[in-house]
Amino acid sequence: MELQLLRSYFPNGTNGELWYGGQLICHTIELPWLNNQRNISCIPEGVYKLQKRFVEKFQWHLGLYKVPNRQLILIHPANNAKLQLRGCIAPVTKLESPGIGSFSREAVKKINDLVFPILDKGKEVQLKISVKSLNS
């Protein structure tokens, strides 16, 4: 299974669209692109393996693995990238402005409901991150 994240970059944040099988699942917010600097930049474009992960703060959630020069990149709820993210990806239901969205918990649930059953069957799930073209 491959999810596709199409990004648009802005000085104050990165907005995205998360797609699977030609269907828009939700939008995403991230920090702006600042050359993959830890804690202040979104991660580089590429293809990343997703895995389930558990921590008390976020309960069961998704993590991205083998991100160049980064670790602990998660997909978790947040509505303001600059205030709530340190390089992670936050799904949101609605985009408000660059790096800001709303109804994140609902969007996270949508992704988890789609991806967790696949991972539970031992199948691989990848996230392909690329820039949104004008034709997308």
- CATH number for the domain harbouring residue 64: 2.40.440
The residue segments making up the domain with residue 63 are: 2-131
pLDDT, one tens digit per residue, over 4-43 is 999 999 999 999 999 999 999 999 999 999 999 999 999 9
Residue 18 lies in a domain: yes
Q: Are 87 and 99 in contact (CB under 8 A)?
A: no
pLDDT beyond 80 at 135: no
Number of domains present in the structure of the chain: 1
Query: Whole-angstrom Cα distance, residue 136 to residue 40?
Result: 27
Give the pTM.
0.95
Helices (H), 4-103: 81-84
